[in-house]
Amino acid sequence: MTAVDDQGLVFAGVARLAQLVRGREVSPRDVVTLYLERIAQLDPVLNAFRVVLDERAMADAAQVERRLAAREVLPLAGVPVAVKDDTDVAGVSSMCGTGIDTGPVSSDSAAVRRLRAAGAVIIGKTHLPEFGAVPMCESPTWGVTRNPWDPSRTTGGSSGGSAAAVAAGMVPGALGTDGGGSVRIPAACCGLVGIKGQRGWISTKQSPERAYRFHGLHHIGALARSVADAALLHDAMAGAEPDDEIPPASPAPPLTDAVSRPPRRLRIAMSFKPVVPVPVSEEVRRPVWETAELLRSLGHEVVERDPLYPPAAILSVFVLMMHGLADEIARLPTPELLEPRIRAEGRTARLVPDRLAHRALAARDRMSERGLRPIADCDVLMTPVLAKPAVPVGHLEGIGPTRAMARVLAFMPFTPPQNYTGQPAMSIPAGVSADGLPGAVHLVGRPHDGSTLVSLAAQLESARPWAHRRPPVASYRTPGSG
């Protein structure tokens, strides 16, 4: 290892790490070796990774060195990235949190292919609950993924493995997926930035033997410690494919350009109204209030204004989620191996007729416009990410699907609407609570306007830095570091 060593390199961040590799201050193979050592030390405690691609990652690092020698421009040169295990990596099974192995897939997903093209090294695949169906990262097959800030608390989900890996410094950045908040929720629980862009900005295309059919609810997003790093990962993955499930209505803007561009004076709607009437705790309200005061001090206008959540739109989200779940289960060779609660949800999902899903899709634009009308004169919506702080692990253990759904809605009633409307949204850190858990704020941009969203988030990070904060587990030192 060279001048930048150990912990400093581990937490250098995506952009800085790529810069060090491009500048020949550290080699891609040394970087990958360091993170593999970090994973070997911490993953037995946190259980973030389903599979670690040791040998392949080292070979890919050597390939990055050759590409740099050939003067290729690589925005993510040598940066190790973790991929959630519902997203295809060639030659590796996509288990989707289940115990059902359908075999290695034949090719990378579009997002992973673009990460590699940018110079990233795919270091492993991370845990999720079965089919990402709940906002906690636990499954009968793979066990509990634990929060680096407090191992007795959930990482959130469903991209909980990716979030734990980034928060603990096992990777500088990760790919997550978000069907109802599954990037933003674990970002909030683990003290990270989580970006879900506009629907279609990042293709959800998988290998030929797999396909997502969640009617555009499913997004691919980025998890990192800073706004700049998350934006860089998002930009590297951005791009449409000719046969995408839902083509983008607008091309993805370069979000990294927005990071260094201060926003104009904005009008920001602050809301504590959840999708369903559940209590919202003071612990999650406080970071939003404090951020509102910071925004006012930065010259922005903050108004209390609620979006509208028509019952028909809420029902449509449920219909599309369940119809997509039924489709996923139907393609499994051995669905009887799923956990009992998911099997029960699958039986309910099969009752959703195709015509009801098609009706929900046909009404999406109209209902989205109606729901956003009360905040149409605002540039950004700000809410809590969750209705309560990270819950203890085992929050859904031993209960049936009806009670589980009630607990899920009581935990995550703010993030699903943006998967229905498709608009960009992100979670950013906002302090640490008295019991040592990270606080968070949910920022939602206008449809197709990710640039304003990222510009504002970067301004907040500059005024209230957070990337230097590390969870207790992150202070562990790598083997041989002295």
Show me where the domains of the chain are located. 6-473
**pLDDT by residue (tens digit) across 249-263?**
888 999 999 999 999
Which pLDDT score is estimated for 209?
Answer: 82
Confidence category of residue 243, pLDDT binned at 50, 70, 90: confident
Contact 127, 97 (CB under 8 A): yes
In angstroms, what is the C-alpha Rg of the chain?
21
Residue with tokens 């253990």: 397
Least confident of 1-10, 155-164, 305-314: 1-10
Q: Tell me if residue 84 is catalytic.
A: yes
**pLDDT by residue (tens digit) across 81-92?**
999 999 999 999
Question: What number is the average pLDDT over the span 223-250?
Answer: 94
Contact 275, 239 (CB under 8 A): no
Long-range CB contact pairs, 252-255, < 8 A, 24+: 252/197, 252/198, 252/201, 252/202, 252/450, 253/450, 253/451, 255/195, 255/197, 255/231, 255/450, 255/451, 255/454
Tokens of 168: 């603990």
DSSP-assigned letters across all residues of 51-105: EE-HHHHHHHHHHHHHHHHTT---TTTT-EEEEETTS--TTS---TTSS------
Q: Which of 109, 139, 158, 455 is catalytic?
A: 158
**Using the 8-state DSSP alphabet, how is residue 129 labeled?**
S
The CA distances from residue 357 to 36, 109, 143, 215, 416, in Å, are: 44, 26, 33, 9, 17
Q: Where are the alpha helices (DSSP H) in 268-412?
A: 282-297, 311-330, 340-349, 354-362, 364-372, 401-411
**pLDDT by residue (tens digit) across 203-214?**
999 998 876 568
Question: What number is the average pLDDT over the span 350-378?
Answer: 94
The total of other beta-carbon atoms located within 10 Å of residue 289's CB is: 13
**pLDDT by residue (tens digit) across 140-173?**
999 999 999 999 999 999 999 999 999 999 999 9
Instruction: Calculate what percentage of the chain has a pLDDT beyond 70.
Output: 96
Q: Which of 139, 159, 162, 182 is catalytic?
A: 182
Which pLDDT score is estimated for 106?
Answer: 97
Contact 367, 275 (CB under 8 A): no
The number of angstroms, rounded, from the C-alpha of 111 to the middle of its chain's C-alpha atoms is 13
Which helix H or strand E contains 29, and what residues bound it?
A: helix 28-46
Contact 68, 22 (CB under 8 A): yes
Q: Which of 27, 84, 226, 316 is catalytic?
A: 84
Secondary-structure class of domain 6-473 per CATH = alpha beta
**Using the 8-state DSSP alphabet, how is residue 377 labeled?**
T
Which residue, 60, 78, 75, 63, is CA-closest to 24? 78
In this model, does residue 4 exceed pLDDT 80? no
Q: Tell me if residue 462 is catalytic.
A: no
Q: Tell me if residue 196 is catalytic.
A: no
Confidence category of residue 474, pLDDT binned at 50, 70, 90: confident
**Using the 8-state DSSP alphabet, how is residue 216 labeled?**
T
Confidence category of residue 475, pLDDT binned at 50, 70, 90: low
